[in-house]
Amino acid sequence: MAGKHKNSKISAAGSHGGNAIKQSMGSRIFDVFNICLFILLAIVILFPFWNIIAISLTGNAEYMASSFILFPKKPTLEAYKYIFSTALFIRAFGVTFLITITGTALSVLVTSMLAYGLKKPNLHGYKFFMIYLLITMFFSGGLIPTYYNITKTLHLSNNILALILPGAVNVFNFVIMRSFFVQLPDSLEEAARIDGANEYTILFRIIYPLSIPMLATIAMFVAVGLWNSWFSAQLYMRDENWYPLQLIIRNYIVRNSKPADMQLMEGLRDAAGNRLYLNETGIKMACAVVSTIPMLLIYPFIQKYFESGVTIGAVKG
């Protein structure tokens, strides 16, 4: 038996070796082509980010000499010190975190409760609610009616709730959540009801724990959308103190409109009393880098849920 087992191992190793040797020239060329292609794509994708970081670390004199910079000769953090020395920029960071955290939690909670409630076709009014929701995926009231409803009907002008409530229910996320919930066995709910659990207990103690990959994925999508949003704030917010980070950066980069406390810092001087000339473009790039970091830090913790969260919820419609 030992001899036969040994011979089988040798034959298996030989077959694997034979497969490796028999790899055709075309297959090897294809592998090399794929490697080169993906390296090129990585360079094309990463180069703009690297260029932004390099410019943000470049002093004014070096940038004036050459605007194309990959590696600053004398890296400096003056641009980052400049933006973090402005009270409005720090406040905008806090406002954006508040909008993102509150809006994400509310959207995931409300949308998931709606999806759980409409997961069974025998629900009274099921067809009406499904058609009502799905129509909004293809047709909307438009910008002017939405603006009128938020400012005149709900009286949310210059109110931070105007940046949170309109996106509380996302129909696309609702479809994904409902598809996920439909795949869960009904026997789990039936067993819980026999034990005396109500619908809220079933949802929060059984359905949610089983749906963590999907909920984490949806939460990431919602959070990124809220974090990068600036248009709603431009429409509904009048007080600059309640501007989110992206709107301040957008106004600064596109319109070159600086916050008041930024303008006061234009007269900064060094220890010798000489006026400091900061790299204007470097400050804009530093703003872009700072606004990107939070999402980059969160993504690695959510990444493990992405594949299962999206694909499982998309199996059934």
Task: Report whether pLDDT(304) > 80.
Answer: no
**What mean pLDDT is reported for the chain?**
80
User: Whole-angstrom Cα distance, residue 104 to residue 168?
Assistant: 8
The backbone torsions φ and ψ at residue 303, rounded to the nearest 5 degrees and listed phi first, read -55, -40
pLDDT number for residue 23: 65
pLDDT number for residue 225: 92
Number of domains in the chain: 1
User: Whole-angstrom Cα distance, residue 220 to residue 295?
Assistant: 9
5 belongs to a structural domain: no
198 belongs to a structural domain: yes
Task: Report whether pLDDT(306) > 90.
Answer: no
CA distance readout (Å), 258 to 168, 179, 262, 283, 285: 32, 46, 6, 11, 14
Q: What is the mean pLDDT of residues 264-290?
A: 64
Those residues with Cβ within 8 angstroms of residue 281's Cβ, 6 or more apart along the chain or in another chain: 55, 63, 67
CA 280 from centroid of its chain's CA atoms:
28
CA quadruple 28, 33, 34, 35: dihedral sign: positive
50 belongs to a structural domain: no
pLDDT number for residue 106: 95
pLDDT number for residue 264: 41
Q: Are 106 and 100 in contact (CB under 8 A)?
A: no
Residue with tokens 């390296």: 39
Cβ atoms < 10 Å from Cβ of 94: 11
Structure tokens, 306: 């992405």
User: Whole-angstrom Cα distance, residue 227 to residue 97?
Assistant: 8
52 belongs to a structural domain: no
Q: What is the mean pLDDT of residues 106-134?
A: 89
Q: What is the mean pLDDT of residues 258-270?
A: 49
Task: Report whether pLDDT(61) > 90.
Answer: no
Domain of residue 128, CATH code: 1.10.3720.10
29 belongs to a structural domain: no
User: Whole-angstrom Cα distance, residue 45 to residue 280?
Assistant: 25
Q: Are 92 and 215 in contact (CB under 8 A)?
A: no
199 belongs to a structural domain: yes
pTM of the model: 0.75
61 belongs to a structural domain: no
- Give per-residue burial for 104-127: e unless 16+ CB within 10 Å, then b: bebbbeebbbbbbebbeeeeeeee
302 belongs to a structural domain: yes
Q: With CA atoms as reference, report the closest residue to 198 among 189, 188, 187.
A: 189
Q: Residue 102: which pLDDT band, with cuts at 50, 70 and 90?
A: very high
Q: Are 232 and 163 in contact (CB under 8 A)?
A: yes
Q: Residue 271: which pLDDT band, with cuts at 50, 70 and 90?
A: very low
Those residues with Cβ within 8 angstroms of residue 235's Cβ, 6 or more apart along the chain or in another chain: 147
Range of the domain at 204: 78-313
Those residues with Cβ within 8 angstroms of residue 283's Cβ, 6 or more apart along the chain or in another chain: 56, 79, 82, 83
Q: Are 227 and 100 in contact (CB under 8 A)?
A: yes
Q: How big is the chain, counted in residues?
A: 317
